[in-house]
């Protein structure tokens, strides 16, 4: 495995190039993307870069876990060929002032609650695509909205890159794997699986029985019944357009429930098909 700090060191790729962009603090979710990449591409490239432009909260950026040594050991064991772990200056030699139009996909849910977040994701992912030039790139469905926005961006920019979405990886107790989970206090870590317990029950029990508005209210109420959790939003939206719906019959049944929940200082997101 070759560790590259500079874009110019990324040379000697062979065959189809697969790419997994990450912000490090790797866990089983990332490793499932790497595995898919390794299985389906000749050259596997992973980036580790905590992108400052996608953090709308400077405290969140400062606290984001950084575990490079452990990450490199995991990637080496997973058979990765190249790791790109650049400095901020390498990715952004000059400040990136581009403003993306994501066709409204970024105006709901995470986009509404984290202003500027998806523009920063667009900046870094397009920049990394420019540097790595992959044939295929792999993203997790935990960040379902991010995945939809990247698909949109790739189509809009006419990039010849196949975007591969991979299922959410969960701990045995149901908590969706996230780098932020390591920041949870033991009490909040114990409380956090309640989010998926509520979502998975709602996925089968609420649709068609109560209105969409009532379902969202019930889901928030059930999550907040745990005193260590506080719902920021619950949305039921089309999985393809991400637009919130008010009727179950909308979007040809292709619906997902999306939540953001505070567990103490840590903000967790999750989603399920409903
Ligand atoms: O999902 C992430 O970890 C990040 O948003 C990404 C895609 C690596 C861009 O910084």
Instruction: Report the nearest atom of ligand 1 relative to the CA of 140.
Output: 1
CA of residue 189 to ligand 1 center, whole Å? 23
Do 195 and 116 reside in the same domain of the chain? no
| Ligand 1 atom at minimal distance to the Cα of residue 50 | 10
pLDDT confidence of residue 252:
66
Residues 154, 25 share a domain: yes
- pLDDT grade for 85, boundaries at 50, 70 and 90: very high
Residue at 222 is within a domain: yes
What pLDDT does 251 receive? 66
**Co-location of 34 and 160 in the same domain:** yes
Residues 46 and 108 both lie in one domain: yes
The ligand 1 atom at the shortest distance from the C-alpha of residue 150 is 7
Distance from the alpha carbon of residue 21 to the mean position of ligand 1, in angstroms: 6
Query: Domain boundary residue among 139, 166, 193?
Result: 166
1 SS3 class? coil
Q: What is the CATH number of the domain that holds 97?
A: 3.40.50.620
Which protein residue's CA is at the shortest distance from atom 5 of ligand 1?
121
CA of 121 to the centre of ligand 1 (A): 7
Residues whose CB is less than 8 angstroms from the CB of residue 255 and which lie 6 or more positions away in sequence, other chains included: 207, 236, 237, 238, 239, 245, 248, 273, 274
Mutate which of 20, 22, 153, 166 to test ligand 1's pocket (most atoms within 8 Å of Cβ)? 22
Distance 23 CA to ligand 1 centre (A): 6
Q: 93-120, pLDDT tens digit by residue?
A: 999 999 999 999 999 999 999 999 999 9
Cα 56 to Cα 4, 124, 227, 273: the distances in Å are 28, 14, 26, 28
Query: What is the per-residue pLDDT across 154-200, written as a single tens digit (0 to 9) for each?
Result: 999 999 999 999 999 999 999 999 999 999 999 999 999 999 999 99
The pTM of the full predicted model, rounded to 2 decimals, is 0.96
* d(CA 45, ligand 1 centre) in Å: 14
In this structure, the answer to whether residues 161 and 235 fall within a common structural domain is: no
Is 172 inside a domain boundary? no
Mean pLDDT, the chain, as a whole number?
Answer: 97
Examine residue 220 and state whether it is found in any structural domain, yes or no. Answer: yes
Say if residue 76 is in the same domain as residue 109.
yes
Q: What is the mean pLDDT of residues 40-59?
A: 97
Averaged pLDDT for residues 50-72: 96
Give the CATH number for residue 195: 3.30.1300.10
CB 137 within 8 A of CB 20: yes
pLDDT at 152 over 90: yes
Nearest-CA residue for atom 8 of ligand 1: 22
CA angle 170, 53, 47 (to 5 degrees): 55
Ligand 1 pocket: which of 37, 125, 147, 269 to mutate (most atoms <8 Å of CB)? Answer: 125
Q: Are 39 and 161 found together in one domain? A: yes
**Shortest-distance atom of ligand 1 to CA 47:** 8
Write down the pLDDT at residue 91: 98
Identify the domain containing residue 108 by its residue range. Answer: 2-166
pLDDT above 70 (res 206): yes
Least confident of 38-52, 53-67, 91-105, 243-257: 243-257
Domain end, chosen from 102, 137, 166, is at 166
Query: Which pLDDT belongs to residue 208?
Result: 86
Give the pLDDT score at 34. 98
CA angle centred on 65, ends 61 and 82, rounded to 5°: 105
247-266 pLDDT per residue, tens: 998 766 699 999 999 999 99
Contact between 83 and 55 under an 8 Å Cβ cutoff? The reply is: no
Q: Are residues 133 and 259 in the same domain?
A: no
Q: Is residue 171 part of a domain?
A: no
Residue 145 lies in a domain: yes
Instruction: Give residue ranges with CB within 6 A of ligand 1.
Output: 21-23, 51, 54, 121, 124-125, 143, 146
* Coil, strand or helix at 234: strand
- Catalytic residue numbers read 30
Question: Is 174 inside any structural domain?
Answer: no
In the chain, the number of structural domains is 2
């Amino acid at each position: 495995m070759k560790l590259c700090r500079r874009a110019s060191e990324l040379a000697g790729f062979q065959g189809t190039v697969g790419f997994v962009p990450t912000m490090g603090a790797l866990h089983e979710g990332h490793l499932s993307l790497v595995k898919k990449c390794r299985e389906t591409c000749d050259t596997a490239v992973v980036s580790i870069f905590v992108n400052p432009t996608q953090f709308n909260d400077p405290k969140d950026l400062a606290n984001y876990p950084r575990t490079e040594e452990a990450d490199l050991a995991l990637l080496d064991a997973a058979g990765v060929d190249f790791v790109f772990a650049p400095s901020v200056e390498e990715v952004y030699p000059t400040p990136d002032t581009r403003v993306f139009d994501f066709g409204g996909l970024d105006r709901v849910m995470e986009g509404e609650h984290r202003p500027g977040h998806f523009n920063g994701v667009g900046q870094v992912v397009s920049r990394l695509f420019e540097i790595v030039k992959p044939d295929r790139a792999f993203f997790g469905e935990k960040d379902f909205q991010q995945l939809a926005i990247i698909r949109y961006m790739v189509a809009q920019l006419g990039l010849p890159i196949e975007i591969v979405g991979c299922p959410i990886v969960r701990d045995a107790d149901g908590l969706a794997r996230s780098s932020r989970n390591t920041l949870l206090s033991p009490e909040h870590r114990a409380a956090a699986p309640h989010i998926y317990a509520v979502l998975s029950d709602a996925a089968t029990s609420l649709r068609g029985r109560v209105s969409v508005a009532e379902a969202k209210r019930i889901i928030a109420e059930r999550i907040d019944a745990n005193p260590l959790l506080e719902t920021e939003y619950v949305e039921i939206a089309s999985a393809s357009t991400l637009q919130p719906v008010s009727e179950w019959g909308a979007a040809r049944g292709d619906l997902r429930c999306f939540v953001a929940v505070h567990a103490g200082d840590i903000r967790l997101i999750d989603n399920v098909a409903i």
